[in-house]
Structure 1
Amino acid sequence: MLNGKHAIVTGGGTGIGLAIARALADQGAQVTITGRRLSKLQEAAGPNIHPLEMDVQSEASVVDGIAQAVEARGPIQICVPNAGIAEGRAILKTDLDFWRDMMATNVDGAFLTIRESLKSMTTTEWGRVIAVSSIAGIKGLKGAPTYTASKHALLGLIRALSADYAKKPYTFNALCPAYVDTAIVSSNVDSIMARTGMSADEARELMVGVNPHGRLITPEEVADAALFLCGPNSGSMNGQAIQIAGGEI
């Protein structure tokens, strides 16, 4: 389905990003995966999946990295800004460094990735931007005001771009999963245990319980939603926040 297409997935070495990269590669796309740890990206590399060290918090790194990817594999036609920080902290315990670090990755990083990708995408006749937001982009996530604000901002960016390019052959959508079975959940278990004194099982169940269907979402479920947005009948899906949340509304 995607033969001849070049995709870029930030944070593509693990979790949701890697699942999306593999799904796109399986459909024939050449996929550039980026992240700050080259060794992790190299472990994830495979047929049609190409590692590129890039820090989305750095404008110079994003500009140079995406230019290298375009030179190597042609215009980017599928842009997946996935790199993100997910951590809860009460607002009275939130300092400005914590706030800025999360915004620099979750908002600035997505903005830079999309901006630089569009430079080549808009020279083609087809393109997809698929941002990985969160259920926290739609509702307030208790105990995580900074994270919630960052994911709301990302959704606003996507909706504005969908309006800007509504009559062009490019779509802009956001995936909004609830708790997904990734390493981020494991790190959040440790964080919840430290803050509340819960056991590991109790902390994990707290997150599983947010998903109405009573289980963690798999990265592949999120990847399949991304794949649909690249499909032949996806052109009228634009400016949407697609919930992959087990029925949460």
Structure 2
Amino acid sequence: MSISRPNPRPVAVLTGASSGIGAATARELSRRGYALVLAARRLEALEALRSELDSSGERIITVQADVTEDGDRRHLVAEALRQFGRIDALINNAGISIARGMWWDDPDPVRVLKTNLEAPIELTRLVLPAMRARRHGQIVNVASVAGIVAFQGIYSASKFGLRGFSLALRRELLGSGVNVSLVSPGFIKTELTAGASIPMPGPEIVARAIADVLERPKREVLVPRWYRLPALLEQIAPSVVDSVTALMRSKRYR
């Protein structure tokens, strides 16, 4: 039977760690002294990242996992506990969108819901009992401004759902010692937005926001901050957002 080694560092499980926001977050948390369990489907990319950050493999481990699979989720949590003995933070970052075209033309649009919404819920359900028993832990869900300002049916549905789940879970856990934070990025330069032609900041800005809410928990953070404006407009003047969206769609369909 494997015995976990004592670990004085905070232990974070990070999904979707092989690229983009996930890889940037791994680098930022490593710099801040976290022990990490990095999970993604692409093991080769995970191993390259681990070698970059911790060649000894004592502070950072990798787990190949498809978060939509129950067995993989359970294996991920088990490996984290086997190596480090506890999980202080779960960062649900893995996410996908419809690659091209409209969601109704995609052969399997529901996979977006499974990855972006079902998987975070189920992973949270796996780690919560121990966190509640210890009266210590943090859940950070990476949603999207698309979970406030709707613009793509399935993707926005998944992020609206994740946002609602996070905000409600935070209230359900008040006084338990477990904090829940939501980080909602706008357009960020990653593989997910490779087809977009608008100026975008790199994923490091989101990585810093995630690391910051781990140190100082907040209800919700929008990244970059200027996305607060469209979020506010969606609440007080949705017709303005409709007009901007219609203009963008008209240019797209020309």
Which structure's CA Rg is the greater one? 2
State the AA in 1 paired with 2:213. L
Query: Matched residues, percent identical?
Result: 25
Match of 2:47 in 1: 42
Match of 1:180 in 2: 188
TM, length-normalised to structure 2:
0.79
Match of 2:213 in 1: 229
Match of 2:16 in 1: 11
Separation in structure 2 between the aligned mates of residue 164 and residue 58 of structure 1, nearest angstrom: 26
Deviation at 1:122, TM superposition (A): 2.5
Report 1:55-74 matches (<5 A): 55-74=66-85
Match of 2:35 in 1: 30
Deviation at 1:94, TM superposition (A): 4.9
State the AA in 2 paired with 1:68. E
CA contact (8 A) 1:85 1:106 kept: yes
Separation in structure 1 between the aligned mates of residue 95 and residue 23 of structure 2, nearest angstrom: 13
Deviation at 1:241, TM superposition (A): 2.9
Match of 2:224 in 1: 245
CA contact (8 A) 2:41 2:66 kept: yes
Alignment CA distance shift 1:30-1:170 (3 Å)? same
Separation in structure 2 between the aligned mates of residue 175 and residue 89 of structure 1, nearest angstrom: 27
Uncovered stretches (5+) of structure 1, i.e. residues with no partner:
190-203, 209-214
CA contact (8 A) 2:205 2:224 kept: no
Match of 2:123 in 1: 113
Deviation at 1:91, TM superposition (A): 5.1
Deviation at 1:110, TM superposition (A): 0.9
Match of 1:130 in 2: 140
Deviation at 1:28, TM superposition (A): 1.3
Match of 1:200 in 2: none
TM, length-normalised to structure 1:
0.80
Give the counterpart of 2:174 among 158, 163, 166: 166
State the AA in 1 paired with 2:204. E
Match of 2:4 in 1: none
State the AA in 2 paired with 1:177. P
Deviation at 1:82, TM superposition (A): 0.5
Deviation at 1:129, TM superposition (A): 0.9
State the AA in 2 paired with 1:154. L
Deviation at 1:117, TM superposition (A): 2.1
CA contact (8 A) 1:21 1:49 kept: no
Q: How many residues align?
A: 215
Match of 2:252 in 1: none
Name the SS for the 1:123 alignment partner: helix
CA contact (8 A) 1:7 1:32 kept: yes
